[in-house]
Amino acid sequence: MRDPKLIFFTVLSLIFILFLTSFAVAADPVVNNIIVNPENPNSVSTFTVSADISGEGISRVNLTISGCNEDVCFTDLTQNVEMDLKSQGKYEAEITFNDPDEKANNIKYLFEIALENGTEYRFSDPSWKTYVNIDDNEDNGVNDQADDNSTPGFEFIFVLVALFISLLLYYKKR
C-alpha cells in the first residue's frame, strides 16, 4: 500500500500547479513609440501617426488628438480616430488637422486601447507632443496677406516724400 502522506502531497502539488496555470498571464498594453509624418505638420494639413503598441489581446486602438496652445487645448480642434493595425504591434491613423486660425502651436495625443476581455486602458504622456508649423502654410488654402512683403502702396509713400523734397529743393533754388 502506498503512503497516504505521499499521495496527499502529490495531489496537493498537482492542484497547486493547476491553480497557478489556470490564470492566463496577459501583458498590459504599452505604447512604445510614436512617429508623426511629417514631423511638424502645418496648421491645415494631413499627417500620419504611427505607434508601436505591445500587449496581448488588443481588440481596438483609438487615438484622440487635441490642438493646443501650450497646455490649453481647444475642443474644436479635438478629433477621435480609430487606428488601423498595419503589422504586428504597428498601428497607424491618418489625421486631417484643420486650424486655419492658427490657434494651436502643438498637438497632444491620447491612446485608448481596448482588450478582447473588455478592459480599456488610456495612455497619455506630456512628451507625446507634436509642434505645429505655423510659419509655412503657403499651400494650405489660407489667404494670409498680412505676411506678404509685396503689399502695394508702401513704396508709394517713399516716392511721394522724395517728390515733395525734390519740389522743395527745386523751388528753393529759384
**Residue-wise pLDDT tens digits, 12-70:** 666 766 565 555 455 788 898 899 999 999 989 999 999 999 988 899 999 999 999 98
15 lies in a domain?
Answer: no
Instruction: For the full predicted model, state whether its pTM sits above 0.85.
Output: no
23 lies in a domain?
Answer: no
> What is the per-residue pLDDT for 111?
94
9 lies in a domain?
Answer: no
Quick: pLDDT tens for 37-49: 999 999 899 999 9
Q: What is the CATH number of the domain that holds 145?
A: 2.60.40.1930
> What is the per-residue pLDDT for 147?
46
160 lies in a domain?
Answer: yes
17 lies in a domain?
Answer: no
12 lies in a domain?
Answer: no
Q: How many domains does the chain have?
A: 1
User: By percentage, how much of the chain surpasses pLDDT 90?
Assistant: 37
- Among residues 116, 115, 136, 110, the alpha carbon closest in space to that of 43 is found at 136
2 lies in a domain?
Answer: no
18 lies in a domain?
Answer: no
Structural domain harbouring 68 = 29-174
- Distant-in-sequence contacts of 21-30, Cβ < 8 A, 24+ apart: 26/55, 26/56, 26/57, 26/115, 26/117, 27/54, 27/55, 27/56, 28/55, 28/121, 29/53, 29/54, 29/55, 29/58, 29/113, 29/115, 29/121, 29/123, 30/54, 30/55, 30/123
